[in-house]
Structure 1
């Protein structure tokens, strides 16, 4: 009798959960499982897949273009993660110290790039970087710095930093809002007590603000690192991985393998390696970036 009494509410709840589970299985879990299976095959999208075991992965780890993409992605992480994080903390501290009306206007203005689709921003910045008529080079020539007016997206050295600078500009407003939220939950009496004790602003930031913002720092790191590993639309609209693989990233390489070369099994292996890297990074951030109260436990 007890089993039947317990089973009725469980079945009733499952009715409400089932549509979500079906959608999750069809559009999330199913494609993930399919990608894993396809990564062990050689498939051109038309003929039947042929099983090759770990052949795609073995070939991948001897693929120089793949390692070039990983190296470029590691450089982009500095622009996607560290630069927005540092700018976000500094701007959050500055904005919190000004009046409410000006604070709202500045916060809205600085957050605006993040509400725009990154693909659209990529097209806009491609025009801004244009070496012939782009406003950046034209402005440099007007102020007498025409010698450093470069073909930014066509230069082997500066193409990747140029794309990274746009990514930093895109994400710093998001980071700033997260840190402003974190600053609002910190008790103001802590700052007042530190000032009474004669602590300098830098000491207050290092000893009070930064440790208490560790939960927000962890969230920002997780989201921006994942975004950097998944980077595609911004790079694709600005450079398509060029010039000569200077801005090639794993997702662009995966796109080329699948839709240009019809090597879907090999492209799926690139996707699986990217997913594994995301899991490893997530674990590292959760493991090493923890508030002191969590570390004590």
Structure 2
């Protein structure tokens, strides 16, 4: 019988993929190669040359990559991006976990409306968000007006024009945008945690805090990994918010790698340097994403 089946399938076991199956993948692979692989390879090649976008390119070797560590502007831009991860990833995940644990423990009326309002920033274009918050954080904006109204005029300042507060101000906008995404992910995750685990924890005398660390947090590992991955990528590739609100300023206090790619490629015509920054940013995103995935997978296997 096995011999007859083998002859019928050309010597292959039933269900074994055949070469014709790859033809179905070919259109998708062609699009992937044209719009991703080819530009990526070209960017890597450009990162090893000096080119202003017009004249003949000259070989640069590793000079563009050395500048990532030697040039203080480029070096600081990566440090700013890492600092923004606190606002784009750490704070939204922490706030989302707190809100999700509270909302899953207590019944709240209007949950759908509450969830929609918090998730709304995710469906807004970042350009719209940037324009709105630039107006709010302006010297005569809503935030300073509110501080004056409650008698805290001494705290008013030009939030986006202050060397100390510009980066935290932009980061606070990122926290506002990403918190809704984290909350929705965590609320969905809490719904699949068996209620028996919460009941068992309460029978053992666990309070709200112990219940969170013993039941909710372990049950949300997969959602936390997804949230951290998405928010870290959003924070590291942040461009439009910086471009519209501060333009990398004041000085270079809010400059980030994505903004430096634009600035060097289209404003000062250093295409090779811009390509090196882009490759470096890609590697950084890849390393952090793999680290988060490995960390979660490692804990799940223990």
TM-score by length of 2: 0.91
User: Out of 231, 245, 251, which is 1:244 matched to?
Assistant: 251
Contact 1:218 1:290 in 2 (8 A): no
* Corresponding position of 1:95: 103
1:42-81 matched pairs, under 5 angstroms: 42-81=50-89
CA deviation vs aligned residue, 1:63-82 (integer Å, no higher than 9, x gap): 01011111211211100011
Match of 2:117 in 1: 109
Q: Give the aligned partner of residue 170 of structure 2.
A: 163
Separation of aligned partners in 1, 2:130 and 2:289? 27
- State the match for 2:280 in structure 1: 273
Contact kept, 8 Å, 1:43 with 1:263, in 2: the verdict is yes
Unaligned runs of 5+ residues in structure 2 are 1-5
| TM-score, structure 1 normalization | 0.93
Please report how far the alpha carbon of residue 100 of structure 1 lies from its aligned counterpart in structure 2 after TM superposition. 7.0
Detail structure 1 runs of 4+ shifted over 6 Å in the superposition: none
- Which whole-Å CA distance do the structure 1 matches of 2:136 and 2:11 have between them? 64
What is the CA distance between 1:11 and its match in structure 2?
Answer: 4.9
The one of 266, 286, 291 equivalent to 1:284 is 291
Task: Show the counterpart of 2:201.
Answer: 194
Is contact 1:214-1:290 (8 Å) kept? no
- Measured after TM superposition, the shift of residue 287 of structure 1 is 2.4
The size of the alignment, in residue pairs, is: 293
Query: Is the 8 Å Cα contact of residues 214 and 291 (structure 1) preserved in structure 2?
Result: no
Q: 1:179 aligns with which of 163, 177, 186?
A: 186
User: 2:93 — aligned with what?
Assistant: 85
Structure 1 residues without counterparts, runs of 5 or longer: none
What RMSD, in angstroms, separates the aligned Cα atoms of the two structures?
2.0
